[in-house]
Every structure is written in C-alpha cells, then in structure tokens.
A and B are shown apart, each in its own frame.
Chain A
C-alpha cells in the first residue's frame, strides 16, 4: 500500500512526507522498523555533513558581516557591509580576481581539450592500454604540493625546463627566469597545473566515451563517414552530459587556485600570481581576520555559483 504510493509519486515532488496521516497509521510494523533503521543508517553521514559542510557554510555567511577574529578577547559584533566595502576597494583583491580569470580562461579550454585528446587515445582496447592509462593518471596521484615543489626546481633559471628548451631548439631559445618574472610566473603555474590535473578529467571523458554505443560508430562507418565526421556527429553529441560536468569541475578547480601559489610564489612577483583563495587564507590565517576572510570566501562562493549557473544555462538541453 505505502510502497505503491511512494513509487507512484511523481519524481518532481520533493515533499518529505508524501503519505497522509491516515496512510501512516495503516502502516505495517515492518515499515516502521524500515524507517527507523533507514534513518539510523543515513544519520551518521548526514550529521557529519551538517556539522562540517552546511554549518560552516552558513557560519561563514554570517561571519562575513561581523568583526570576528580567530582568537580575540572582544565579543563578536555585527558590522554590516564593512568587510565588503574594504574588500571592493582593495586593489590586491581586484588583482587576484584578474589573475584567477586569466588562469581559468587558459586552463579551462586547454586542459579539457588535452584531457579529451588523451581519453580518445586510450579509449579503444589495444596492447598496453593499461600502461598508458596508468602513466597518464600518474600526475594526478602526485600531490599538488609535491608537484609544485618539483616544478619550482625545474623552473629555475638553470633548471630542467630551460635545459630542455635549449636542447630541443638547438640552443635557439634562452629560457626565462620563469617564476621571478611577473610576465612568465602565471603562465608557468598554468603549465604545471594542466600537467597535474589533465589526467583526472581524462577519466571523466573516458567514462563519457565508454557510454556511447558502439553500434552508432558501426552505422556511421556503413554510411562511409570519415573519422572526423564520426567524431563530429557521433562522439561529440554523445558527450553532451560529460561536457558540462568537465566544464563545471575544471572551472571550479581553476577558480580555487591555491596550493601552487602557496608553495611556489606566495602571490608574487608583484602580486602577479595572487589568487582569491590565497588572499582569503593570507588574511584569515596569517592575520587572523576571520571575518574579512569569510567575506572573501563568500564572494568566491557567489562567483562559483554564478559561473556554474551560467555554464549550466549555456550547455542546457536545447529542445
């Protein structure tokens, strides 16, 4: 009885209690036990998420309008928009926003493109496919902090990158002092970020590729479609959902740029690599201004939300 009611409920109604009180009274005792054990199983994860995701999110929202400090003898006071007024007049914040946009504008298309190319290369079974899948994924299992440290060494003026550049160009290219020059510091961080994370999005693309039915390719081949046409008319439309997932995850990851900057440049030279999160951590942690950092975090969150909403709108189903 209850079962059919629950199943027949239209999927759009998220009402928590779809059953009427009358129906609830008619419930068999086994159902009540199922409710109780069900909630008992959901509770641990739900309580933890409530305590460590929902609550801090709401708390952060509130703290942004106060003068809270991490350790302070004074009581917390409501200060209205003060933190935001200060934030929006801070040139470093605008510089951080610009840097992060620059980073995202390059990383999002290049990294998703390379990741798709890698996924296409290892999509079909061939001898050694597992070897390539593993190697392509290796940078992802290497911590971003280790990667940053390693590339910090390779980017030195007398480092490996410059040696490789000069070897492969037969001495024509004299490398830059990558991380100490405001013009090259951000491109250098972009390169290593793509190197580290492309493998992860390769896996997501691969999941999408594997879900496309092989029959579609056979039909296309029978019609004499070239490889490009197969990609254009079978693969690309088949990746519609994967595309928006990749786009959103890469964008959020790009906007949250922090580890690389913290290890390699500390925002320098001349603020050319500072980011929103780096500024938030710097003010919240080093200067202990929890409220100001919360304001930065809130702005960041709204930004992420806006951009994902715009992306969802642009990649929506058009029918």
Chain B
C-alpha cells in the first residue's frame, strides 16, 4: 500500500514537471534567443542549446530594437496608461462595490444586477460602435487661456484609459470580498462619528488587500496587453502602447533575434510584477474570489 502511494506521488510529480516544461519552454526559448545572433538561434534549434544562454551571448539585439522602434516612448506610454487605469480602476470600482455591499441604498440590487449583466457583453462586439461613439465625444483642451472644445477622442491618451476604468468584474470581486468583512466594524466607526467615506478609506479598504492585488493584476494585464483597441483608435506614433510596436517587425529583413528581444522587453516587466504579487493573487482567487 505504501509503495503504491509513493509510486503515485512520484508519478504525479513527473506529470507536474512535464506540464511545467510545456508551459515554460516557449518563454525560455524567447528569452534565450533574444541574446543570440540570428545565425546561432537557428543553429542551436536542434539541440538543448536552444534553451540555454550559451555561445555568442550579447545585448546587441536590444540595442538594435531601440534603433528600429521608439521602444522607450512605447514603454513610457504603456506604463502611464496601465498605471492610471489601475489606480483609477481600484478607486472607482471599490467605491462602487463598497456602497453596493455595505450601505442601505435604494435600488442597489437593480444596479448590481445591471452591472453584472455587462459581463456577458464581449468587448469585441462593443469595440466598433465604441470607436464611432468616442469619435463623437467632446474633447476639452486648455490652450493658453482659452478652453477649446474639439470633437473626437480618437488619437488621444484618454481614449486608451477612460473606457476601461469601470469594470464589472472588479466590482464583483470587491463586492464578494467586502461581504466577508464584518459589518460591525462599520457600526463601531459610525458610533465614533466617522462618515461613510472615512469608513471606506480607513476601515474597509485596509482590510481588502488581497482583493486589491487581484483587481490590480486583472486590470493591469489587459491594459498592458491591449492591441485591438489601440490599433483602431491611435494613429500617432508618440501615443502608441507597446503591443503596437510589434507591427514594426512585420517588414522585410526581420531579424528574429530583434523580434525576440522586443517580445522579451514587453513581457519581462509583466512577469516580474506578477511574481511580486503572485502569492496574494493566486491565493485570493483560489480561496475567495471567483466562485460560480
């Protein structure tokens, strides 16, 4: 019996390692290839060297990337767009979930149902009417001392941020989490004379760390990875996010080393951020967040 159990656990570990190898090999290949000249990438492909940083290793591909693509500009844009979306998203969605979960507001059940209903609308179906719609929106610009109103949000930063701040899934996650925080805390704070916003800021939010970590990652990923939307609404080079930079490599004489360098450049920040947050992220989803 014991031997069977041990055999079972060795077998399970072997399967785990196999799955891990399959999940990791393309990413390792990408990172390793970004350090090699093209000739060596193809030369190493038939051996284990494809996954090892051996041979002629250098950062040449990365310097070449910065010559070909305004990579620094794109990175700054994406960092800015994602950061603003995440910060405003955390604030606005948690505030909404707080009122829906902990306050006596008339009609809140209808509002919550309507918010959850937006989850079944895939973004792709909204994208095209949304382009038409944001092109009709007014755009206020402070020009010297006069306020100028022009039409159309196309080709701006805000068109890449504002439509993605409010998010039904974030509200749902916060709502679920807030429900698990005892309501007696609010009442105690109210007896001490605290207003609702103060309860939100000083009582509930400090306890909602795991929910905030989850919402932060789930807002950051699509913001950083967005491709379809900026492709449709952003034309100016100086406003483009990182994913659009990939188009610069669909040209003749592509060096695959450079492509892999650019791909690594825009992936590594996300991976680092994910690893920093991963414990609270996976645990909070796995323990409380998403339940059918």
Binding site for B on A (CB under 8 A): 2-3, 6, 14, 16-19, 31, 34-35, 37-39, 41-42, 44-46, 48-49, 51-57, 59-60, 63, 68, 70, 117-118, 121-122, 130, 132-139, 141-147, 149-151, 153-154, 158-160, 163, 166-167, 195, 199, 203-204, 206-208, 210-211, 227, 240-245, 252, 255-256, 258-259, 262-263, 277, 280-281, 284-285, 290, 293-294, 297-298, 300-301, 304-305, 308
Known: A14-B110, A38-B108, A138-B271. A207 touches B286 (CB 8 A): yes
Which residues of chain B in 45-87 are interfacial with respect to chain A, using CB atoms and an 8 Å cutoff? 45-46, 50
On whether the beta carbons of B126 and A244 are closer than 8 Å, the reply is no
A258 to B42, alpha carbons, bound, how many Å? 29
List residues of chain A with CB within 8 A of the CB of B213: none
Does chain A have a CB within 8 A of B200? yes
Q: Is the CB of A42 within 8 A of B105?
A: yes
User: Do the beta carbons of A60 and B125 come within 8 Å of each other?
Assistant: yes
A136 and B96: CB pair below 8 A?
Answer: no
Question: Are B23 and A195 interface neighbours, CB within 8 A?
Answer: yes
Q: Is the CB of B270 within 8 A of A142?
A: yes
Q: Report B214 CB to chain A, min CB distance, Å.
A: 10
Assess A153 versus B104: contact at CB under 8 Å? Given A203-B285, A280-B124, A284-B128. Answer: no
Would A45 and B124 be within 8 Å (CB), given that A145-B225, A150-B263, A195-B26 are in contact?
no
Whether B122 and A244, one on each chain, are in contact in the complex, defined by CB atoms closer than 8 angstroms, is no
Q: How far is the CB of B269 from chain A (nearest CB, A)?
A: 10
CB atoms of B290 and A154 under 8 A apart: no
Which residue of chain B has its CB nearest to the CB of A142?
B267
Shortest distance between the CB of A221 and any CB in chain B (Å): 12
27 of the cross-chain contacts (CB-CB < 8 Å) are A6-B104, A16-B110, A34-B196, A41-B96, A42-B105, A49-B115, A53-B121, A60-B125, A68-B132, A132-B16, A137-B274, A138-B23, A139-B26, A142-B271, A145-B243, A146-B263, A147-B26, A154-B29, A203-B290, A206-B282, A207-B289, A241-B291, A245-B290, A259-B228, A285-B232, A300-B125, A308-B120
In the complex, are the beta carbons of A37 and B287 less than 8 A apart? no
The residues of A that contact B129 with a CB separation of less than 8 Å are: 56-57, 59-60, 63, 290, 294, 297
Contact between A34 and B105 (Cβ–Cβ < 8 Å)?
yes
- Give the CA-CA distance A57 to B128 in the complex, in Å: 10
Q: Which residues in B have their C-beta under 8 angstroms from that of A55?
A: 133
Q: Does B221 count as interface, using CB distance less than 8 angstroms?
A: yes
Query: Which residues of chain B come closer than 8 Å to A263, judged between CB atoms?
Result: 246
Q: Given A16-B106, A41-B196, A281-B128, output 15 extra A-B contacts at Cβ < 8 Å.
A: A41-B197, A42-B100, A44-B95, A45-B93, A54-B118, A59-B133, A68-B132, A121-B15, A134-B282, A203-B285, A242-B292, A284-B131, A290-B129, A293-B128, A297-B129
Q: How large is the interface on B (under 10, 10 to 19, 20 to 34, 35 or more residues)?
A: 35 or more
Contact A41 B290 (CB under 8 A): no
Q: Given that A56-B133, A143-B225 are contacting pairs, would A42 and B128 also be in contact in the complex, using a CB cutoff of 8 Å?
A: no
B274 and A48: CB pair below 8 A?
A: no
A68 to B92, CA, bound (A): 34
B196 x A281 contact (CB < 8 A)? no
Residues of chain A lying within 8 A (CB to CB) of residue B249? 149
Closest 5 CB pairs of A and B: A241-B292, A38-B105, A60-B129, A48-B166, A16-B107
Which chain A positions have C-beta within 8 A of B115? 45-46, 49
Known contacts A203-B285, A252-B122, A304-B120; A281 and B291 CB within 8 A of each other = no
Docked-complex contact B20 and A132, CB < 8 angstroms: yes
Expressed in whole angstroms, the Cα–Cα distance for A84 and B144 within the complex equals 49
Given known A17-B106, A41-B200, contact A136–B125 (CB-CB < 8 A): no
B residues near A48, Cβ cutoff 8 Å: 92, 162-163, 165-166
Contact flag A133-B105 (CB < 8 Å), given A145-B225, A241-B291, A284-B131:
no
Contact A277 B166 (CB under 8 A): no
B20 contact set on A, CB distance < 8 A: 132, 135-136
Q: Say yes or no: B243 contacts A167, CB within 8 Å.
A: no
Q: How far is the CB of A3 from chain B (nearest CB, A)?
A: 6
Residues of chain A contacted by B50 (CB below 8 angstroms): 160, 163
In this assembly, does B231 line the interface, its C-beta being within 8 Å of a C-beta of chain A?
yes
